[in-house]
Structure 1
Amino acid sequence: MDLNVDNTRNYSGSGNERAGVQNNGAGELNNLFMTLLVAQIQNQDPLNPTDGTEYVGQLAQMTQVQSMETMSKLMQNNSVLMDNLQVLSTAGLVGQSVMVQTDTIQVEDQEINGRLTLGQSANVVTVTVKDSAGVQHKIELGKQESGSVDFTINPKELGLAPGEYTISVVTDIGEENVPVEIAGTVNNVRIPLEGGSALVNVSGLGEVPFYKVSQFGPTNNPSSNNPKQGVLS
C-alpha cells in the first residue's frame, strides 16, 4: 500500500508541474502581446496614426485567447483531479471482489466464476475456452433466457493446464460478441509512472485496466444455476 501512496504523490505532482509550466507560458504570452502593442503605439506614424478600433480589436482577440487558455487549464486541472480521485478510489480495492469484462483468463488450480449476458433467449449456449495451441474446451449451458447467465470454469474437470486462455460464447441463434465477465479478487493496484488509467491485478485475470472493472463486490454463486462442466472438443 505504501507503494500505491508514493505513486499517487508522484502522479499528482506531475500534474501540478504541468499546470505550473502552462501558467508560465500563458503569462509570457500576455507580456509579449502587451510589449508588442506598446511598441506598435509608440512607433506609429504621427501623421497617420493607427485607428483606435484596431487596438480595440487586438485587445479583444487577446482576451479571447486568454479565455480559451483559461478554459483549457481548467479542463486539464479537472483531468488531474479526476485521475487523483481514481487513484484514491482504487487504493481501497485490494482484497475486494470484482467482476471484469474480458476475453482472456489466467488459469491456475482454482475454479473461475463468470457471467455472460445474452441479448436474446437461446436453446443452446456454449462457453468455449481455448488455449494457445487452439485446443478448445467447452462448457454447455443448454437453454438460457436473455439476460445474465452465470457459469463456472473448473480446470480439473476440463483438464486445463495452468496458463492463459481465451474465452468466448456461441449460441444457436448466432448472437455475436456476447459480453463475458469474470469474477476475481484484487491482489494489488499499480499506478503507471507515465500516467494513465490505474492497473488492477485480479486473480484469474492478471493485470487489467481499472475501467474494465464492471462490478464491485461479490456476485451470486454461479453453482446455483447448476451449469454443466465442459468437455474437451
Structure 2
Amino acid sequence: MSSVASLSELFPSTVQGETIKNNPNELGQEDFMTLLVTQLENQDPTKPMDNLEFISQLAQFGTVSGIQDLQGGFSGLSSVLYANQALQAAGLVGQEVSTSSNMGYLAEEGGELNATVALPGDATSLKLYVQDQSGELIYSGSFGATEQGNLNVSWDGTDAEGNTVAPGRYRLSAEAWIDGQNEAVSVYPRQRVESVSVAGDGSGVLLNLADGSQVSTSSVKSFH
C-alpha cells in the first residue's frame, strides 16, 4: 500500500500558518480532523507516520486556530474600549479643555477668555499679553507675586482702552519674573467642548471645540 500524502501536502494553507477563511473552497477545523483520521487509517503499515511529525502537524493547526481566536478576541476588546472612550468623551460636552495651543477663542462680545498659566517657579510678578491674529498687541495685564504651579487667569475681552473687541481667536502669552530673571511662561487657553465626533478612520474620538477646531482626547492637557 502506498503511503498517504502528508497534511502539509494535502492542506498547505493550514500547516504553513496562513489565514483560514470560512468559505466552501477551504477546510476548517472539523475537515482537518477528518483528514487526519483518514490519513492515519490509510497510512502504509510499513511506513507509519512518525510521532514527531504527527504532533508537529497538530501543533501547527492548533497555532493557526489559536491565533485566529486571539485576533477575534482582540477585535472585540478593541470595539468595547473604543465605545467606552466615545461614551466618556460625550460627558465632556459643555466643559472647558486646555490643549498645548496658546490660541484662545472669545466666544461672544463682552464675554471672557479663560486660561491657565504654568509657572515653573515662584514669581514676583506676572504679565499677560493678548494679540489678535495679525499679531497686534491689544491688551496686557499685570499680576502680583504668584507661587509656582498653575494659575487661572481671565481676560474680559476688552482692549487697552477698555473697548470691547469682536469675538474670535486670540493669541495669549505671558512673562514672569522668576529668580531675578524675566522669562516667558506657557499659557493654555481654555475652550468649550461643543460636541464629540468619531474619527472616520476609526483612530479615535475627536472633541469639537467652540472655535470650530477638532482635537483628539489624547492632546488635551487638562479638563475644567
Distance between the aligned counterparts of 2:119 and 2:155, measured in 1?
18
Q: Which runs of 5+ in 1 are unaligned?
A: 1-24, 217-233
- The amino acid that maps onto 2:194 is N
CA shift at 1:64, angstroms? 3.1
Matches within 5 A, 1:20-31: 28=22, 31=28
Indicate whether 1:190 and 2:214 are aligned.
no
Distance between the aligned counterparts of 1:176 and 1:64, measured in 2?
58
- The equivalent of 2:98 in structure 1 is 100
Indicate whether 1:117 and 2:110 are aligned.
no
- Structure 1 contact 125–170 (Cα < 8 Å) conserved: yes
- The equivalent of 1:165 in structure 2 is 170
- Structure 1 contact 98–213 (Cα < 8 Å) conserved: no
SS in 2 for 1:155: coil
TM-score (norm 2): 0.62
Distance between the aligned counterparts of 2:149 and 2:212, measured in 1?
23
Higher RCO (Cα < 8 Å, 6 or more apart)? 1
- The equivalent of 1:34 in structure 2 is 32
Distance between the aligned counterparts of 1:65 and 1:194, measured in 2?
29
Indicate whether 1:215 and 2:223 are aligned.
yes
Distance between the aligned counterparts of 1:166 and 1:181, measured in 2?
9
Q: Which runs of 5+ in 2 are unaligned?
A: 1-18
Consecutive aligned runs of 4 or more in structure 1 exceeding 6 Å deviation: 42-46, 174-177
Which has the larger Rg? 2
CA shift at 1:40, angstroms? 11
- Structure 2 contact 105–113 (Cα < 8 Å) conserved: no
SS in 1 for 2:159: helix
- Structure 2 contact 127–174 (Cα < 8 Å) conserved: yes
Q: How many residues align?
A: 190
Alpha carbons of structure 1 residues 205 and 116: separation in structure 2 relative to 1, 3 Å = farther
- The amino acid that maps onto 1:164 is R
Matches within 5 A, 1:1-233: 28=22, 31=28, 34=32, 38=36, 41=39, 48-94=47-93, 96-103=94-101, 104-108=103-107, 109=109, 110-136=111-137, 138-158=140-160, 161-173=166-178, 178=186, 180-182=188-190, 184-203=191-210, 206-211=213-218, 212=220, 214-216=222-224
CA shift at 1:112, angstroms? 0.8
Q: CA RMSD in A?
A: 3.9
SS in 2 for 1:189: strand
